[in-house]
Structure 1
Amino acid sequence: MKIADICRRTPVTVPATASVREAARAMQAEHVGVIGLTDPFDPGRIVGVVTDRDLVLHVLAGERPVDGQVAAQACSSRLHGVSAQASVHEAVQTMREHGVRRLLVVGDDGQAVVGVLSMDDVLSVLANELAALAGSLQSGMAREGGAPVQPAPLVRAAR
């Protein structure tokens, strides 16, 4: 399975000059924990990301008042990504290597951001795979005369 099949297809973005409140409200409205910050002069180019954790640790827990702070002050400009053609295994390795829970997904050109992959997306896929495997084992047991067991429901992570 390729990352393109499981990632959020359109990254939620605001200009890097947006206030931290605007960034937080966009996260709330779109039900996401990460938002891309775009270059004010090139809105198609993501120059940083802000996570809900960044807002708490760098803004709310900081010494400066929240009002007046721009999203770029709370962002990480070290962007970590993975190809849309990468495997789940490759994405997990990248997350672990960089200590992040979300990755930007880049298209075939290696530049354009085409989506965002979260740890929740990966866990949802893995949970579904495990549920399918459990169902297969239970079917085999039933065919062999064992007691049938109710299969676990499939899960889908909220985005």
Structure 2
Amino acid sequence: MAIGEICNREVVILGRNESALDAARLMRQHHVGDVLVVEERTGRKEPVGIVTDRDLVVEIMAPGLGPAAITVGDIMGGELVTVRENTGVFEAIQYMRSKGVRRLPVVDAHNGLVGILALDDLLELLSEELLAISKLVKLEQQKEARSRR
């Protein structure tokens, strides 16, 4: 299964020059833990950074800075890790683990934003698959038990 099939396509986005306060308000309004920072390039939105709720706490609140004066461009991470929409689920999991990230922006072949994949999304998918497998195993055990009678 490709990541593009399961990623969340409703991504909360901001421009690099928006304030950290705007980011915090959007996170609260949409009940998410991150906003993607995008730039408009040749008619498509391309992800250039990500700001998480943790970034807001560590970079702004802890040092006592004013969130209205700091832009998301000031606090977003350096290198953004993305994944192509046709990447397989297990390949994406391995990539997230190797890069030490919990969220992956999903992009098309031209680096345009398609969606975002969070670790929570993968855990939900995998738990559903494991549940289906366990039901199958139980069904097979019941069939075998009936055939022994």
- Taking structure 1 as the reference length, the TM-score comes to 0.82
Q: Is the 8 A contact 2:44 2:113 kept in 1?
A: no
Tell me how far apart the structure 1 counterparts of residues 45 and 144 of structure 2 sit (CA, whole Å): 57
1:38 shift after superposition: 2.5
Partner of 2:134: 134
Partner of 1:99: 100
Kindly indicate which of the two structures has a greater share of residues assigned to helix. Answer: 2
2:145 counterpart SS class: coil
Judging changes above 3 Å, is the alpha-carbon distance between structure 1 residues 38 and 60 closer, same or farther for their aligned structure 2 residues? same
Q: Is the 8 A contact 1:48 1:76 kept in 2?
A: yes
Q: Cα deviation per residue 1:125-154 (whole Å; 9 max; x = unaligned)? A: 1000100011101111222337xxxxxxxx
Question: How many positions carry a matched residue from both structures?
Answer: 145
Q: CA RMSD in A?
A: 2.0
Judging changes above 3 Å, is the alpha-carbon distance between structure 1 residues 52 and 140 closer, same or farther for their aligned structure 2 residues? same
Partner of 2:145: 145
Residues 1-159 of structure 1 aligned to structure 2 (within 5 Å): 1-39=1-39, 44-109=45-110, 111-145=111-145
1:97 counterpart SS class: helix
1:40 shift after superposition: 7.5
1:76 shift after superposition: 1.1
Identity %: 34
Q: Cα deviation per residue 1:19-58 (whole Å; 9 max; x = unaligned)? A: 1111011112222222111337888233211011111111
Q: What amino acid does structure 1 have at the position aligned with 2:12?
A: V
Which runs of 5 or more residues in structure 1 are unaligned?
A: 147-159
Tell me how far apart the structure 2 counterparts of residues 83 and 45 of structure 1 sit (CA, whole Å): 12
Q: What amino acid does structure 1 have at the position aligned with 2:144?
A: E
Q: What amino acid does structure 2 have at the position aligned with 1:107?
A: D
Which runs of 5 or more residues in structure 2 are unaligned?
A: none
Judging changes above 3 Å, is the alpha-carbon distance between structure 1 residues 10 and 144 closer, same or farther for their aligned structure 2 residues? same
Partner of 1:154: none
**Larger RCO of the pair (alpha carbons < 8 Å, separation 6+):** 2
